[in-house]
Structure formats: C-alpha cells, structure tokens
C-alpha cells in the first residue's frame, strides 16, 4: 500500500494581513481581492475560487505539530480551488493560523 506523505512547509504572514479577520472574533469572512494574504497571491485567478477565514485576537488554543513545536491557534483559512479535472467542483485546503512566541508581528501558517 502506498502512503501519501505531505511535506508541511511553514509560511509566514504579517499579522497586519490578518488583523481584520481577528477583529471579527471567529466570525467567518470571505477574503476578496485586496485582502487575500500575500502568501496566497501566487495562485492563478482561474484556479482560486474563494478564500474564507476566521480568527480571534484573544489568546488561542495551544497548538503544536512536528514543524511548530508550540504556539497558539488563533485562526484558520479555507482555500477553495476550482477542480475542473476532478470529480468534485472544488478542492479545499485548510491552513492553521498560529501565533508563535517571539515572532514579533509574524504569524505562522
């Protein structure tokens, strides 16, 4: 049996790119043109269907993975991509938004 191995690559995002989402205190919001974080702007427009996000300014839930030893989950971003060659209309990826100790204004994705 083949196992799919996904390499998790950390991305960084200035907290100023997420501050409006955090102000909504977990209210789900769509990120439209002009408010899409820089690290997502490389997705071709014909592939990118929608970007949704939610988050909080309050201390988050403790979070750790192999690539993030400790931090706080303060939000999430759902990225919907058009999938014309798949049996579904859209593919969705979820990205955790992590506040990392000592990151000085940067969030980890």
At 75, the pLDDT band (50, 70, 90 cuts) reads very high
Residue 71 lies in a domain: yes
At 6, the pLDDT band (50, 70, 90 cuts) reads low
Q: Are 99 and 13 in contact (CB under 8 A)?
A: no
- Which residue carries 């990120």 as its tokens? 31
Residue 100 lies in a domain: yes
Residue 61 lies in a domain: yes
pLDDT in tens, 12-21: 999 999 999 9
Domain span including residue 20: 12-108
Q: How many domains does the chain have?
A: 1
Residue 18 lies in a domain: yes
């Amino acid at each position: 049996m083949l196992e799919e191995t996904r390499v998790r690559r950390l991305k960084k995002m200035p907290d100023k790119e997420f501050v409006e989402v955090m102000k909504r205190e977990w209210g789900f919001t769509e990120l439209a043109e002009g408010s899409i974080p820089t690290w997502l702007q490389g997705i071709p427009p014909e592939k990118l269907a929608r970007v949704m996000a939610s988050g909080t300014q309050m201390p988050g839930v403790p979070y750790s993975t192999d690539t993030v030893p400790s931090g706080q989950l303060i939000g999430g971003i759902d990225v919907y991509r058009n999938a014309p060659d798949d049996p579904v209309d859209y593919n969705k990826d979820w990205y955790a938004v992590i506040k990392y100790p000592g990151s000085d204004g940067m969030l980890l994705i």
